[in-house]
Amino acid sequence: MKTLETDALLSVVNEWVAIESPTPDVEGVNRVGALAARLIGAMGGRVERISGAPDLGDIVIGRIAGETEGPGILLLGHIDTVHPVGTLAGPLPMRIEGDRAYGPGIYDMKGGNAMAFAALAHLHALGKRPRLPVTVMMIPDEEVGSPFSREHIEREARAHAIVLVVEPSGEGGKLTIARHGIARYFLKTTGIPAHAGAYHAKGRSAIREMARQVLAIEAMTDYARNVTLNVGTIRGGTHENMVPLHAEAHVYCLVPLPEDEREVRERLMALKAVDPDVKLDVTPGLYRPSFVKTPEIQKLYDHAAALAQEIGYPVAGERIAGGGSDGNFTGALGVPTLDGLGVLGDGPHTHHEHLLISCLVPRTRLVARLFETLPV
């Protein structure tokens, strides 16, 4: 599109949102990937796909030539969402209310992907190129921690000079210059089963033990340091009349600094069952390392903030984000990473997820200007 206009951008965003793509729905995720591939082709880019993870969609990579050669810009986005198929026809239909456009994944982060592609298409339509070569990388498994994509993201990041992430912006349009680490743990308790009537005293309850562990784990939360431990899922038992043999729980921990991650790991791995007859197993899961602001990231931020000022839509400051993104991997590698360049809005992962329509033109322009002007 030669001129960036709100209606045209909104209809582009809607194309992405209209395809439901929860992470486990391989077909849906790949349909979004196909849309991305088509758009890359239309702007003269080269498309690559990486497949092979069972039960996950493909990574789609687009390579766009720049005015110059050399290590370029890696633009990261994910094409999966947390919303199950049926959300569009059910609790979160696409609709507009005032300045808000609603839809599953519209804020996190199909709106951001659509803007990044529109920014590149805009330059292409004007006969311009990004200053550096741009690689767009669409990730199919971010919402489950990028188990398949991580190594591919890290390989691409090492070959690029700068990483831009079009995850949603913070409050008022803040850009993300650092992210806390995210650590996951799986807990399992194994008790002694017994009929809960006459033989109750012979049983050892896996659920009772898990309940004690949940309280101990949640008590490790320290808001002053932004360290939080959340037991997000729990299940156990088979029948109401049985002393339960098994219980399981998933723990999701926010660990701002590497030393917080070490401390939380040591404390969780040291947990002991209170009941000596119950077995407790703690297994570490996927970990997203924290990334912190470096002088290079500060330069990127300052440059983006100055461009946004020129455009007349200031960025409202910088923030350290609580949640993780694929930017954690690239930032932790030391590749200058500017995140949160996507849409403004609210309600990620909920049934009131929306973007602010008024941000579409200025934010797409900001991404286009970054492509035109980087490196700084």
Q: How far apart are CA 308 and CA 290, in angstroms?
A: 27
Q: How far apart are CA 81 and CA 171, in angstroms?
A: 21
Interaction between residue 356 and Zn ion (CB under 5 A)? no
Question: Do residues 334 and 293 make contact, with C-beta atoms less than 8 angstroms apart?
Answer: no
CB of 20 or CB of 167, closer to Zn ion: 167
As measured in angstroms, the least distance from the Cβ of 195 to Zn ion is 47
Q: How many residues does the chain have?
A: 376
Binders of Zn ion: how many residues, by CB under 5 A? 3
Q: Which of 17, 32, 109, 194 binds Zn ion (CB under 5 A)?
A: 109
As measured in angstroms, the least distance from the Cβ of 80 to Zn ion is 9
Contacting Zn ion within 122-141 (CB under 5 A): none
CB of 73 or CB of 79, closer to Zn ion: 79
As measured in angstroms, the least distance from the Cβ of 108 to Zn ion is 4
CB of 109 or CB of 356, closer to Zn ion: 109
Interaction between residue 229 and Zn ion (CB under 5 A)? no
Neighbour count for residue 365 (Cβ, 10 Å): 21
Query: Which of these ranges, 19-27, 52-60, 106-114, 307-315, lies near Zn ion under the rule CB under 5 A?
Result: 106-114
As measured in angstroms, the least distance from the Cβ of 142 to Zn ion is 6
As measured in angstroms, the least distance from the Cβ of 139 to Zn ion is 9
Catalytic one of 20, 80, 326, 353: 80
- At 65, the amino acid letter reads A
Interaction between residue 261 and Zn ion (CB under 5 A)? no
Helices (H) and strands (E) in the chain, counts: 9, 18
Residue 257: DSSP 8-state:
S
Catalytic one of 25, 108, 142, 143: 142
Q: How far apart are CA 207 and CA 247, in angstroms?
A: 5
Q: Which residue is nearest to Zn ion (CB)?
A: 108
CB of 144 or CB of 311, closer to Zn ion: 144
Residue whose C-alpha is closest to residue 327's, from 95, 20, 107, 78: 78
Interaction between residue 17 and Zn ion (CB under 5 A)? no
| One-character DSSP codes across 16-63 | HHTS--BTT-HHHHHHHHHHHHHHHHHTTPEEEEE---TTS--EEEEE
Letter string b/e over residues 314-349, b meaning 16 or more CB atoms within 10 A of that residue's CB: ebbebbbbebbbbbbbbbbeebbbbbbbbbbbebbe
Separation in Å, CA 152 to CA 64, 135, 137, 146, 313: 18, 13, 10, 10, 34
User: x/- contact string, 153-192, with Zn ion (CB under 5 A)?
Assistant: --------------x-------------------------
Q: How far apart are CA 345 and CA 99, in angstroms?
A: 10
Q: Which of 80, 108, 156, 318 binds Zn ion (CB under 5 A)?
A: 108
Residue 142: DSSP 8-state:
G
CB of 133 or CB of 173, closer to Zn ion: 173
CB of 20 or CB of 108, closer to Zn ion: 108
Q: How far apart are CA 115 and CA 119, in angstroms?
A: 6
As measured in angstroms, the least distance from the Cβ of 214 to Zn ion is 27
Contacts of 40 (CB under 8 A, 6+ apart): 46, 47, 60, 62, 64, 117, 136
CB of 167 or CB of 318, closer to Zn ion: 167
> Is residue 310 annotated as a catalytic residue, yes or no?
no
Interaction between residue 101 and Zn ion (CB under 5 A)? no
Neighbour count for residue 283 (Cβ, 10 Å): 11
Q: How far apart are CA 356 and CA 55, in angstroms?
A: 33
Interaction between residue 4 and Zn ion (CB under 5 A)? no
Interaction between residue 115 and Zn ion (CB under 5 A)? no
CB of 12 or CB of 109, closer to Zn ion: 109
As measured in angstroms, the least distance from the Cβ of 167 to Zn ion is 5
> Is residue 142 annotated as a catalytic residue, yes or no?
yes
Interaction between residue 209 and Zn ion (CB under 5 A)? no
Query: Which of these ranges, 91-99, 108-116, 261-269, 362-370, lies near Zn ion under the rule CB under 5 A?
Result: 108-116
List, by residue number, the catalytic residues: 80, 142
Q: Which residues bind Zn ion (CB under 5 A)?
A: 108-109, 167
